[in-house]
Amino acid sequence: MPIRTFIFDFDGTILDTESQDFVVVDEMWKAHDQVLELSEWRTGLGTTGGFNPYDALEARLGRSIDRAHWKAHNHQRLLEHCSTQPIRPGVHALFDYAIAHGITLTVGSSGNREWVHRWLHEHGIFHHFATIVTSNDVSAVKPSPEIFLTVAANVAAQPADCLVFEDSAHGVTAANRAGMRSVAVPIPSLVDAWMPDTALRLRTLADITPAELVARATAAPLPNATA
């Protein structure tokens, strides 16, 4: 069955906002003379309600911090860092391939609508997507399959017709639960991290041509949906 829909995660997959988040959170921890372990921070990637840097820091210190100050400071620093980031390698080529081959482009993100829309507009790619589903549109984020199933429903696609692009274990788990094939492209800080079964695991989406990527992903077995 041919792939008819590409579903892109946003944070870490289209734009590496996640590495920038680690830099900003690490700065806050260092300001309090604490060391943030990468292994601890990355448990929260691709979902919500995971690692909370403020809760964890206060637990480490044994006292409260000025959260209002640090949240405002960190948000501004994150915007500054993310504004310097390019679209991840291979993403534009996949957009071009999809447009040339009649494949619908979509986004399924655990991020909030304001955040995702901001950067898609900033990079001039918002118009490419037939639907954009965020945490604002569902009752449960990844690893729940709801985001990806909502994307499919919005464009009248079957799960078997969809190919998901993800950088996190939570995201690949969500794709598997939705019965969709996936391609994993972890950000640098996740290259050694465990990943569920996936059709392909690449360093970047530019590692192989879009045609080869689609051919190899299509040849992979469909995961058993558990939604």
- The catalytic residue positions are 9, 11
Tell me how far apart the alpha carbons of residues 42 and 18 are, in angstroms, rounded to a whole number: 9
Q: Are 135 and 109 in contact (CB under 8 A)?
A: yes
Angle between helices 67-82 and 53-61 (to 10 degrees): 130
Instruction: Name the residue among 7, 52, 51 with its Cα closest to residue 147.
Output: 7
Q: What angle do CA 172, 194, 55 make, to 5 degrees?
A: 85
Instruction: Name the residue among 168, 154, 144 with its Cα closest to residue 225.
Output: 144
Instruction: Name the residue among 144, 167, 140 with its Cα closest to residue 15.
Output: 167
Half-sphere exposure of 33 (CA within 13 A, CB side): 1
CA torsion 151-157-158-161 (nearest 10°) is -100
